[in-house]
Amino acid sequence: MSKDQIYVQQEAEPGSFEFNAAVADVFPDMLRRSIPGYDTSIEAVGRLAARYVQPGTNCYDLGCSLGAATLAMRRNIAVEDCQIIAVDNAPAMVERCRILVADDDDALTCTVVENDIRNIDIANASMVVMNYTLQFLPVSERLETIRRICAGMHEGGVFVLSEKVADNDPEVEALLVELHHDFKRANAYSDLEISRKRSALENVLVPETTDAHLRRLGDAGFSHSGVWLQHFNFVSIVAIR
The average confidence (pLDDT) of the chain is 96
Fold of 38-166+204-240: Rossmann fold (3.40.50)
Q: 81 falls in which pLDDT band (50, 70, 90)?
A: very high
Residue pair 234/207 in contact by the 8 Å Cβ criterion:
no
Q: What is the pLDDT of residue 158?
A: 98
Q: How confident is the model at residue 11 (pLDDT cuts 50, 70, 90)?
A: confident
Q: Nearest CA to 34 among 239, 236, 231, 238? A: 231
Return all residues near 5 (Cβ < 8 A) that are at least 6 apart.
Answer: 26
pLDDT for position 84? 98
User: How far is 19 from 96, CA to CA, in rounded Å?
Assistant: 12
pLDDT at residue 169 in the model: 97
Confidence at 192, pLDDT banded by 50, 70, 90 = very high
Q: What is the pLDDT of residues 152-185, one digit of tens each?
A: 999 999 999 999 999 999 999 999 999 999 999 9
Mean pLDDT of the region 88-116: 96
Where in the chain are the domains? 38-166+204-240
Cα–Cα dist 81/86, whole Å = 17
| Residues above pLDDT 90, as percent of the chain | 94
pLDDT for residue 14: 87
Residue 8 has pLDDT above 80, yes or no: yes
The per-residue pLDDT for 10 is: 79
pTM for the complete prediction?
0.95
Q: Please tell me the predicted confidence (pLDDT) of residue 28.
A: 93
Q: Quick check: 111 pLDDT over 80?
A: yes
Of the ranges 3-12, 25-34, 92-101, 139-148, which one carries the lowest mean pLDDT score?
A: 3-12
Statement: residue 1 has pLDDT above 80: no
